[in-house]
Structure 1
Amino acid sequence: MESTHGGGHGAPRSNDKGNKMKGLLFLIGWCLLFVLCWPLAVLALVLFPLVWLISLPFRLIGITFEAVFAFIRALLLLPARLLGYRRSRCHR
């Protein structure tokens, strides 16, 4: 069976709407900057991919640390889970 959240069919999710709005605001802001100061807009257009490439290793480091801490947390909570401890729903 096919899910309505998967292949783009069904109702759009609210996160998709937010991403489209951010993209539109980014485009309008860049066009406004282009009208006011075109050299700065062109420089921003050229530097954006370079900054993105430089930030990729830092994102990977962040993902790695998050995974390591999740693993350590799972190891530390394993005895409690084996003994049957369940968190109450109201404290979540």
Structure 2
Amino acid sequence: MLQFLLWLLLFVLCWPLALLALLIWPFVWLISLPFRLIGITFEALFAFLRAVLMLPARVLGHKPVSE
């Protein structure tokens, strides 16, 4: 809701810039999508490595600390 109100304020103050931002935003989102996918992949990879490295401790009965 706040983003919409800020966009309306921008539209009132400088409508050409607001319309340009409205038209360019889908392209920015498309360009950033591969970086988000890479981030999700690395997050999953690090979670997997952590699980593999902590497996011996869990087998021996260590209880993980809640984060």
Output the TM-score relative to the length of structure 2.
Answer: 0.91
> Gapped runs of 5+ residues in structure 2?
none
Tell me which of 54, 57, 61 is aligned to 1:80. 57
**Identity of matched residues, %:** 67
Q: Which has the larger helix fraction?
A: 2
Counterparts of residues 7-86 of structure 1 (less than 5 Å): 24-86=1-63
Runs of 4+ in 1 over 6 A off after TM superposition: none
> Gapped runs of 5+ residues in structure 1?
1-23
Q: CA RMSD in A?
A: 1.4
Matched residue count: 67
Output the TM-score relative to the length of structure 1.
Answer: 0.68
